[in-house]
Amino acid sequence: MPIAVCDQGVIRYEEKGMGEPLILIHGVGLDHTMWEKQVEGLSKHFRVIVYDMVGHGGSEHPPAPYTLSQFVEQLAELMNYLKIGKSHVIGFSMGGMVAQAFALKYQEKMKTLTIMSAVANRTAEQRKAILLRVEEVRKTGAASTIEPAIQRWFNKEFIKKEKAIVDRIRKRLETNDPSSYLAAYTLFATADEALWPSLKQISQPTFILTGEHDIGSNPAMAKQMHHEIAHSEVLIVPGMKHMLPIEGADTVNKAIRFFIEKQAIPAK
């Protein structure tokens, strides 16, 4: 798998397909491999690029604390390295925060923005819950949080039917670098607060989607983002929890392709 060597260090990435660039940003504690079904499906229509975020997988693991700007600049450097002037950008969960921040700083580098299963404007109660999980990771490590996360992320039927897929996600969570994961998870718990006041400034065509039964990145949050971002559409996927790119891959791939291709059709 190729690496890009940039100012912020090594970036592990993968690309497949031809056509307009489409860059996908994974969630906290995961890596580029979560996009396997998108690479397979969407690379038939786009040049699909996936990569490991700062502190994840085979990319650079700088010391804590992490800032959202580190993740934004990492993406900008990867685009420069790959000589991509402008791309469609899709962010999942924490990657959705990175994508929003990138849209705010690098408007000229984005064709469209897709925000998938991402949090926004957490309530005081929701903020307390995530900060308690951060503290649990700080004190005892991530192990005790993994199984509850799996249950939040996937439907029970999918866990039973697709054991190998779920086990790969579980293994990824179990093998993260502890200090890098804590630094990224701490940022994930707080970054939406800084982003929320600026969402009205996002001008790119934006697609917001989440699962009907996603507890953390719930439909109410998706609808709030839709209200704030002028040129946006929202889709709530019936029956799905958090892991839309995996459990709802067919629906997600079709919806993303339809949204992107629709932007190229001249308005009447």
Residue 75, pLDDT above cutoff 70: yes
pLDDT at 268: 53
| Unique residue bearing structure tokens 């994930």 | 188
* Model pLDDT for residues 186-241, shown as the tens digit of each residue: 999 999 999 999 999 999 999 999 999 999 999 999 999 999 999 999 999 999 99
Q: Looking at the domain that runs over 3-263, which CATH code has it been given?
A: 3.40.50.1820
Are 177 and 76 a contacting pair, CB within 8 Å? no
Residue 171 in tokens: 């293994």
- How far apart CA 229 and CA 208 sit, in angstroms, is 10
Q: Quick check: 100 pLDDT over 80?
A: yes
- Cα separation, 210 vs 163, in Å, equals 23
pLDDT of residue 264: 79
Strands 110-116 and 87-92, bridge-based pairing: parallel
Q: What is the mean pLDDT of residues 93-97?
A: 98
Task: Quote the pLDDT of residue 265.
Answer: 72
Cα angle: 225, vertex 222, 193; to 5 degrees: 55
Task: Give the whole-angstrom CA distance, residue 264 versus residue 140.
Answer: 50
Amino acid at 110: M
- Please name every residue paired with 9 in a beta bridge, in sequence order, or none if there are none: 6
Q: Which two tokens stand for residue 185?
A: 């998870």
Name the band, by pLDDT with cuts 50, 70 and 90, for residue 69. Answer: very high
Closest to 81 measured CA to CA, from 17, 6, 19, 2: 6
Q: What is the pLDDT of residue 8?
A: 84
pLDDT tens per residue across span 119-137: 999 999 999 999 999 999 9
Residue in 195, 162, 197, 179 with CA at minimum distance from that of residue 72: 195
* Domains in the chain: boundaries: 3-263
Task: Please state whether the predicted TM-score (pTM) of the whole model is above 0.95.
Answer: yes
CA dihedral 22, 27, 30, 34 (to 10 degrees): -40
- Return mean pLDDT, the chain: 96
Residue-wise pLDDT tens digits, 16-46: 999 999 999 999 999 999 999 999 999 999 9
The yes-or-no verdict on residue 267 having pLDDT over 80 is no
